[in-house]
């Protein structure tokens, strides 16, 4: 998959240099779609899904004394 | 667009500086990989793809109106399309590097920042900084010079030569990365344990 992404990217640059603007942008958009797909596949975990449970931002509960005026 | 050439030259200089900074970053990544043996992870490689995508957009903008590319696409459209592409890939870079930073921000078994730190920051964190700098650069450019526009030959031969030279350098760098990816991953998944074909 990564090889395909870099192949599309290199093709986009070479086509752009050769003056094939439309085809170059098409290759770049294909590269973008493949990259997004691979990124989502890489970060997906069967256990957690897309969540990041190692990030804990919950505040610790503290018992405050009751003010008696 | 018929306006005085100075803002257009400054506009092109900003684009050229952004392209130069990206080419420098991608060169540094390649040097770290080849000379220091730091094999990139899959998300690191995707961040390189996003940076190359930004380079492509910047090159399209720099060429719009001065060559057959601009005429083929329409003088203004070539530049606007390049701006859009560069912005999309800058956002992609921010999303990927942000996720990777959060992935390794809590040290635990099997998860630590890949590679060595530069000025105390690891590569994914630098990628976040670079993505934000790119977005800021585009915002400043739009704020100062308005909508993307074509060069119309402004900037002279020196600027044109710089653009051409940098373009060929970026294409060469991209081809080198392609070869490195083939050596590292083959046609399969990428791992940081070594080069599959070596």
DSSP A20-65: -HHHHHHHHHHHHHHHHHHHHHHH-BTTTBT--TT---PPPP-PPP
- Whether residue B85 and residue A7 make contact (CB cut-off 8 A), yes or no, is no
- Cβ proximity of B57 and B148 under 8 Å: no
Best of B26, B33, B42, B61 to substitute, by most chain A Cβ atoms within 10 angstroms, is: B42
- Whether residue B42 and residue A2 make contact (CB cut-off 8 A), yes or no, is yes
pLDDT digits 0-9 by tens, B111-163: 777 777 888 888 889 999 999 999 999 998 888 887 766 655 566 788 888 88
Chain A residues within 8 A (CB-CB) of chain B?
1-3, 5-7, 9-10, 12-14, 16-17, 19, 21-22, 24-25, 28, 31-32, 35-36, 38-39, 42-43, 52, 54-55
pLDDT the model gives residue B123: 87
Q: What is the pLDDT along chain B (198 residues), one digit of tens a residue?
A: 445 577 778 888 889 999 999 999 999 999 999 998 889 999 999 999 999 999 999 999 888 756 544 444 444 566 788 999 999 999 999 999 999 999 888 877 777 777 778 888 888 899 999 999 999 999 988 888 877 666 555 667 888 888 899 999 999 999 999 999 999 998 888 888 888 887
Best of B64, B178, B179 to substitute, by most chain A Cβ atoms within 10 angstroms, is: B178
**A13: nearest CA in chain B?**
B171
pLDDT the model gives residue B118: 84
Kindly tell me if the per-residue pLDDT of A35 is higher than 50: yes
Q: Is the ipTM of this complex over 0.90?
A: no
pLDDT the model gives residue B151: 57
Minimal Cβ distance to B49: which of A16, A35, A43: A35
Kindly tell me if the per-residue pLDDT of A32 is higher than 80: yes
- The distance from CA B65 to its chain's CA centroid, rounded to whole angstroms, is 22
What is the nearest CA distance from A28 to chain B, expressed in angstroms?
7
Two tokens, residue B195: 């080069």
Minimal Cβ distance to A21: which of B72, B92, B190: B72
Best of A7, A13, A47 to substitute, by most chain B Cβ atoms within 10 angstroms, is: A13
DSSP line for B108-173: BTTB---S--BTTB-HHHHHHHHHHHHHHHHHHHHHHH-S----TTTTHHHHHHHHHHHHHHHHHH
Residue B36, Cβ density class (10 Å: 0-12 exposed, 13-18 middle, ≥19 buried): exposed
pLDDT the model gives residue B172: 96
pLDDT the model gives residue B132: 97
Give CA–CA dist A13/A16, Å, rounded. 5
pLDDT the model gives residue A50: 92
pLDDT the model gives residue A29: 96
- Whether residue A52 and residue B103 make contact (CB cut-off 8 A), yes or no, is yes
Residues with Cβ within 8 Å of B196's Cβ and at least 6 positions away in sequence, in order, are B183, B184, B185, B186, B188
Question: Quick one: average pLDDT of A42-51?
Answer: 91
Question: Quick one: average pLDDT of A9-36?
Answer: 94
């Amino acid at each position: 998959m990564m090889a395909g992404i870099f192949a599309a990217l290199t093709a986009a640059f070479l086509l752009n240099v050769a003056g094939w603007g439309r085809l170059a942008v098409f290759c770049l958009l294909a590269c973008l779609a493949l990259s997004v797909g691979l990124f989502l596949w890489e970060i997906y975990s069967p256990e957690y899904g897309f969540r990041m449970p190692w990030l804990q931002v919950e505040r610790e509960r503290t018992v405050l004394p009751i003010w008696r005026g | 667009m018929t306006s005085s050439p100075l803002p257009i030259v400054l506009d092109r200089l900003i684009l050229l500086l952004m392209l130069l900074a990206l080419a420098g970053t991608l060169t540094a990544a390649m040097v770290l990989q080849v000379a220091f043996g730091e094999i990139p992870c899959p998300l690191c490689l995707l961040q390189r793809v996003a940076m190359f995508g930004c380079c492509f957009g910047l090159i399209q903008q720099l060429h719009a109106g001065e060559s057959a590319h601009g005429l083929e696409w329409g003088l203004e459209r070539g530049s606007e399309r390049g701006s859009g592409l560069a912005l999309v890939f800058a956002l992609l870079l921010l999303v990927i590097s942000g996720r990777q930073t959060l992935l390794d921000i809590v040290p635990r078994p099997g998860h630590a920042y890949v590679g060595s730190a530069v000025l105390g920051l690891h590569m994914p964190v630098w990628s976040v900084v670079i993505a934000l700098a790119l977005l800021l650069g585009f915002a400043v450019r739009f704020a100062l010079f308005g909508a993307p526009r074509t060069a119309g030959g402004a900037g002279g031969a020196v600027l044109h030569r710089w653009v051409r030279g940098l373009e060929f350098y970026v294409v060469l760098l991209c081809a080198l990365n392609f070869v490195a990816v083939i050596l590292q991953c083959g046609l399969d998944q990428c791992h940081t344990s070594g080069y599959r074909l070596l």
